[in-house]
């Protein structure tokens, strides 16, 4: 599966910098954030495409008020999204900036009109946000465009995931990436559950990834060992400027540290089998083997006083130690001679 010019799952993790609301209402901040993402080593910058009235209703009752122990508690959904949304006329300059920087750029659409807008930019993929995994018509419409579909599983039960996958496959779209995600901002380390990344690949037969809301970089780096081929992390230009998503986003320095650590982790993971390369084989010279530990004459009995398991590894394998004891030497040999099977009987 390819997203733009990036081949997913071929040894290099696809790292997405999520702009989200970290533009703080300024197109120039948004454009500089794209440039900073490139400097930090991201492969992709991701936007969110919605308007307050395409994602919720302007209703001021208790059902539309946030009250779940988040940084946004007490705010009404419409007001939060009105502040956080990316103006639609900013999309063109941001796509252009991403292209100038050599960054892949796509977005999370939140309704059909958002997909229609994004199609005008020939986006290489669509991302379905965690809370939209139950919006089957939206998923079907996105999948119908024939682009890879990335779906976060933050609030999902197994049935939700299966319905979302079925929606894609009904559109003959099998280029699906499921991101393990916890919809808590920030996510407590006890709730990260990275082991589920491997479950995603096995249970659903799709490409697994990780959308991270924990603080710091430990979780995304660890996700590599569990099979994540895509990592998404919120990115901000300057935390001191604040903003609705600033408290769980990485700045340029932190994001670069994450990218560097992920690239190192990729090298460390290797393959799921025991491999001995030429360098490692050479190191076997320093392993244990059986040596003559005292001068012996032909006819002497082999004892623990005249043979010993020592380094280096040019003598007989130590597995023969007990078999050799009590046998009789048939040669003269000096201390330091590697033992061999033809030296005793």
Distance, in Å, from the CA atom of 146 to the CA atom of 279, rounded to the nearest integer, reads 46
- CA triple 288-289-292, angle to 5 deg: 130
Distance, in Å, from the CA atom of 321 to the CA atom of 89, rounded to the nearest integer, reads 79
Categorize the per-residue pLDDT at 278 as very low, low, confident or very high, splitting at 50, 70 and 90: low
Query: Rounded to two decimals, what is the model's pTM?
Result: 0.85
* Topology (CATH) of 2-50+85-269: TIM Barrel (3.20.20)
Q: Which residue pairs, CB below 8 angstroms and at least 24 apart, start in 54-60?
A: 54/110, 54/111, 54/113, 54/114, 55/81, 55/85, 55/110, 55/111, 56/81
What is the average per-residue pLDDT within 194-217?
94
Q: Which CATH number fits domain 278-343: 3.90.1210.10, 3.40.980.10, 3.40.250.10, 3.40.50.10190?
A: 3.90.1210.10
Q: What is the pLDDT of residue 273?
A: 58
Distance, in Å, from the CA atom of 199 to the CA atom of 300, rounded to the nearest integer, reads 62
- Decide the pairing of beta strands 14-18 and 230-234: parallel
Per-residue pLDDT reduced to its tens digit, 227-264 = 999 999 999 999 988 878 888 899 999 999 999 999 99
DSSP assignments along 285-324, one per residue: GGS-EEEE-S-B-TTPBP-TTTEEEESSS-SB-GGGHHHH
- CATH 3.90.1210.10 in the chain is located at 278-343
Distance, in Å, from the CA atom of 240 to the CA atom of 81, rounded to the nearest integer, reads 21
Q: What is the pLDDT of residue 272?
A: 62
Per-residue pLDDT reduced to its tens digit, 301-326 = 999 999 999 999 999 999 999 999 99
What is the average per-residue pLDDT within 85-89?
95
- CATH 3.20.20.70 in the chain is located at 2-50+85-269
Give CA separation, 203 vs 161, 165, 244, in Å: 11, 12, 35
Beta carbons of 286 and 311 less than 8 angstroms apart:
yes
What is the average per-residue pLDDT within 282-293?
89
Asked if residue 274 has pLDDT above 70, the reply is no
């Amino acid at each position: 599966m390819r997203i733009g010019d990036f081949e997913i799952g071929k040894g290099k993790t696809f790292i997405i910098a999520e702009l989200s609301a970290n533009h703080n209402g300024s197109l120039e901040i948004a454009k500089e954030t794209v440039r900073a993402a490139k400097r930090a080593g991201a492969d992709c910058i991701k936007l969110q495409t919605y308007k307050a009235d395409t994602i919720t209703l302007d209703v001021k009752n208790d059902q539309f008020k946030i009250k779940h122990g988040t940084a946004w508690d007490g705010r009404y959904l419409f007001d939060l999204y009105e502040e956080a949304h990316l103006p639609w006329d900013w999309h063109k300059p941001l796509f252009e900036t991403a292209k100038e920087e050599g960054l892949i750029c796509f977005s999370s659409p939140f309704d059909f009109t958002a997909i229609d807008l994004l199609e005008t930019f020939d986006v290489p993929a669509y991302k379905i946000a965690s809370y939209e995994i139950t919006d089957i018509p939206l998923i079907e419409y996105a999948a119908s465009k024939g682009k890879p579909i990335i779906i976060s599983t933050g609030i999902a039960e197994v049935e939700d995931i299966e319905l979302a996958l079925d929606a894609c496959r009904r559109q003959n779209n099998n280029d699906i990436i499921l991101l393990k995600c916890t919809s808590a901002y920030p996510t407590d380390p006890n709730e990260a559950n990275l082991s589920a990344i491997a479950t995603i690949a096995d249970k659903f037969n799709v490409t697994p990834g990780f959308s991270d809301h924990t603080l710091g970089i430990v979780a995304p780096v660890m996700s590599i060992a569990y099979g994540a081929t895509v990592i998404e992390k919120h990115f901000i230009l300057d935390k001191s400027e604040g903003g609705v998503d600033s408290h769980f986003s990485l700045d340029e320095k932190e994001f670069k540290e994450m990218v560097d650590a992920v690239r190192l982790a990729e090298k460390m993971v290797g393959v799921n089998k025991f491999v001995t390369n030429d360098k490692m084989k050479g190191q076997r010279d320093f392993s244990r083997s059986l040596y003559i530990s005292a001068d012996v004459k032909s006819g002497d009995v082999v004892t623990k006083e005249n043979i010993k398991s020592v380094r280096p590894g040019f003598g007989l394998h130590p597995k023969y130690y007990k078999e050799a004891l009590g046998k009789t030497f048939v040669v003269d040999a000096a201390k330091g001679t590697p033992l061999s099977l033809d030296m005793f009987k």
